Amino acid sequence: MGHAEIWRNFLVKWPADLPHHGVLITAQEQVAFIDFLLSESLVLFDRRAPDAVGGRKLICTYDKIEGIKIVTPVGLDVFTSSGFRALPKPASKTEELEPVGS
């Protein structure tokens, strides 16, 4: 699965209990958004406030997304509908995960 498809899948499965706002991270900027719309190859973000040149909407391809900051205080369980899962908790401190390459 490619970078663009990963982000598209996440946005399509955006948790129902999570408002459509956050901060979009691209290689060039961070954009606070209050909503978004999806198409097959593009995503449209509605900015919280206009940028320096008055832009209120940002349209980009999914592959330009580097990350999304979630600004709503929610528990991790909200994200299980998006495909995230918890790892089993160690039974005790002595059973913690071994470092890679050990």
Supply the CATH number for residue 7's domain: 2.30.30
**Burial (Cβ within 10 Å: 0-12, 13-18, ≥19) of residue 21:** middle
Domain count, the chain: 1
Compute CA distances 46 → 7, 11, 14, 34, whole Å.
17, 14, 16, 6
Kindly state whether residue 90 falls inside one of the protein's structural domains.
no
Kindly state whether residue 89 falls inside one of the protein's structural domains.
no
Supply the pLDDT for residue 1: 83
Structural domain containing residue 50: 3-79
Supply the pLDDT for residue 32: 96
For the chain, 102 residues long, give each residue's pLDDT as a single digit of tens.
899 999 999 999 999 999 999 999 999 999 999 999 999 999 999 998 999 999 999 999 999 999 999 999 999 999 998 889 988 988 876 556 667 765
Supply the pLDDT for residue 99: 72
d(CA 41, CA 57): 16
Q: Which helix (H) or strand (E) holds 8?
A: helix 3-12
The answer to whether the beta carbons of residues 36 and 43 sit under 8 Å apart is: yes
Supply the pLDDT for residue 90: 84
